Structure 1
């Protein structure tokens, strides 16, 4: 399997400095700063990038699980909300809320929920993050 890379560059001190992040193949790049991470400033931040990775990984894992069960989805749309909180150990990602909506012909609600939970448990990014952060899932079958 290929090894994936990304890079980050930072200039200045923590509160007044700024930086850029870039994925290895150049698909994503963006600016980040103290304000974009800890306030509401423009730019991205590491937690948003984790959210994007988790939403993408979960959507693919869920699509595969549905198709393997005989119900190929028309679409799976997932949002991940990463909670960065101050803890006794310092700033930590404490929780990630996954919210997904699937358009899946031929699947019933019970099977949809079962497969969504299985995808959450088996998504590589969920497996990476779950020892340190609670991961919740809200899955809705679109009609």
Structure 2
């Protein structure tokens, strides 16, 4: 195996194995394309039950009605990234405070081709 292929495998495993942060790859519409152990721990879904779903389901109903997920994607598309701290919903319906960063991913022509979403669950002493 050449160095480049070896590096790609290590990079993929690095992201998959991180447990303190949910690292999610999204397409342009917010459909979930990849899922790591941290996402499973924080959000409660296994990869095979969440990949293909839209990330909107992590938001409270009123935030979905206000189109917050779409606004965050649009901000990331325009500014390169979007940050937000707020309440999120787990698979079992419980609510948690999360800090997220959505980063736009670009192709060689600088066109946005997708997004990464990084989520960290906040502890009580971190919520302001």
Higher RCO (CA 8 Å, separation ≥ 6 residues): 2
- TM-score, normalisation: structure 2: 0.28
- TM-score, normalisation: structure 1: 0.26
Question: Which structure has more strand as a fraction of its residues?
Answer: 1
Higher Rg: 1
Question: Which structure has more helix as a fraction of its residues?
Answer: 2
